[in-house]
Amino acid sequence: MDIFSSLKKLLNEKNILKFGAVPFSSCKTVRPYKLGEDISRMKTVYIFAVPYLCRTGKKNISAYAVAKDYHLFFKKIFDEILPFLHNNCPEYKFYGFADSSPVSEVNAAALAGIGIIGDNGLLITEEYSSFVFLGEIITDYPERHFTEQQIRRCPSCGKCKLACPVNEGRGACLSEVTQRKGELDASDKAFLLKYGSVWGCDICQTVCPYTAAAIKNGTIYSPIPFFNENLTPFLTYGMIENMPDDEFKERAYSWRKKEVLLRNLKIYEEGNSNIHSERRSND
Ligand code: SF4
Ligand code: SF4
């Protein structure tokens, strides 16, 4: 079986068009334990980028968490593709990963020619900018059609660094603050309120010129139904408090439990109502 062509076809049918293959030996190993003893026999990494940005109105969470948890999407993909590969090539082993991978995904994707590495640490594609999730299939099958190329980097325009709230002199990352457990101090509360986020931060992605170009070209939004359904772009305290546990579990913002999110929403809603009442009294 021609695995490269079969995988490409299967992924294309799901509107996943950014796909490549690189030798396992060219990749940076970051979590070798994920492959156990099989690591020494691995030959090929098939890697693909999944666009996730969707059109929304007002948002107070990071774009990656607006649809259901992307791990569910990858599980579905791997549940279909891995048995297909095992059935057709029983002499080889195939493993699927997304997010927590044995190899550096950004590095492998850049090596495969899927995109370039940005100074913001993310993979940037021409069509979707950095609004992509990366997934890969690692195998001992010796692929012959590698798409390996020289890694390219962004031109270091400096916009992401300049816009990043870390550079306000506080040294704290907004995304980290929104996911931190426990009480937030007054300056962290003001920080969260200033940027209007209760979960995560998209600033370095939003200001990147590649994002502006992908918007202008009309290619940035995901054509994949999973990322355009069940959207929760704007959270409220009441919504999270009343969300049934099984629904909450399916959200990318659930891994810190409801407490962290409810704390952030309390800060956000109280802060904004104070701002509104100040404005009213000034009118
Ligand atoms: S904003 Fe500029 S420096 Fe940052 S990732 Fe984009 S192109 Fe690179
Ligand atoms: S997530 Fe936001 S605050 Fe954190 S490093 Fe990136 S741009 Fe800066």
User: What integer pLDDT is reported at residue 282 of this predicted model?
Assistant: 63
Q: What is the pLDDT of residue 166?
A: 84
- The tens digit of pLDDT for each residue in 89-124 reads 999 999 999 999 999 999 999 999 999 999 999 999
Q: Is the pLDDT of residue 274 over 80?
A: no
208 C-beta closer than 6 A to ligand 1: yes
Annotated active-site residue 99? The verdict is yes
| pLDDT (mean) for 64-72 | 98
Instruction: Report the range of poorest mean pLDDT among 46-50, 185-189, 260-264.
Output: 185-189
Centre of ligand 1 from the C-alpha of residue 119, in Å: 5
Residue whose CA is closest, atom 8 of ligand 2?
Answer: 164
The residue whose C-alpha atom lies closest to atom 4 belonging to ligand 2 is 173
pTM over 0.75: yes
> How large a percentage of the chain has pLDDT more than 90?
89
Backbone angles phi, psi at 106, to 5 degrees: -65, -45
Residue 172 CA, ligand 1 centroid: distance in Å: 20
In whole numbers, what is the pLDDT of the chain averaged over residues? Answer: 94
- Tally of CB atoms within 10 A around 248: 15
Set 38, 79, 99, 188: catalytic member: 99
Ligand 1 atom at minimum distance from 207 CA: 1
On the question of pLDDT at 276 being above 90, the answer is no
Tell me the per-residue pLDDT of 235-247, one tens digit each, with 9 for 90 and over: 999 999 999 999 9
The domain limits of the chain are 3-139, 159-207+235-282
Q: Which residues, 6 or more positions from 127, have their beta carbon under 8 angstroms from its beta carbon?
A: 17, 18, 51, 214, 217, 219, 220
Confidence at 281, pLDDT banded by 50, 70, 90: low
Residue 198 CB less than 6 A away from ligand 2 = no
